[in-house]
Structure 1
Amino acid sequence: MKTATVVKDCTGTYVCFAGNNADYLVYNPATLAAHPSGSTVNVTFRSAGRCSLPKEPTCRMFHESKGNLTILKV
């Protein structure tokens, strides 16, 4: 498990790992639904690589991310 900070905005749900200033897009955001943005969680994850999930744009904001993750356990 790794410690991460939850980051949520209109573009999606992300995690930022301790000691790393890069956000990673979470492909199964329901796993973090109970954790507000800014909260610290311990997660087990795997890289999601490229994903073809359809995503409706909800805002015109760009959120840079270093990669894509699937959360396996919180």
Structure 2
Amino acid sequence: MRLGYARCSSLTQELQSQLDALTAHGVGRDKIFSEKISTRLKARPAFEKALATVRRSRPMPRTAASSSPCTR
């Protein structure tokens, strides 16, 4: 899965060049998360949404118990 994150830290900066670059690299617009948010703020809602999307799409890791064949 290709996923993108674009961020600007001030209102005068533009996201469009980042969005265009992500799209040019094959990231679908529905998989691009973007926000204009200060670097002083620790909370980044769009970044957290992007992480949640990745976490939901990853398969669960196999454990030793789940990789052994069932003998019952």
The answer to which structure has the higher helix fraction is 2
TM-score by length of 1: 0.24
The answer to which structure has the higher strand fraction is 1
Q: Of the two, which has the highest radius of gyration?
A: 2
TM-score by length of 2: 0.24
Highest relative contact order (Cα 8 Å, sep 6+), 1 or 2? 1
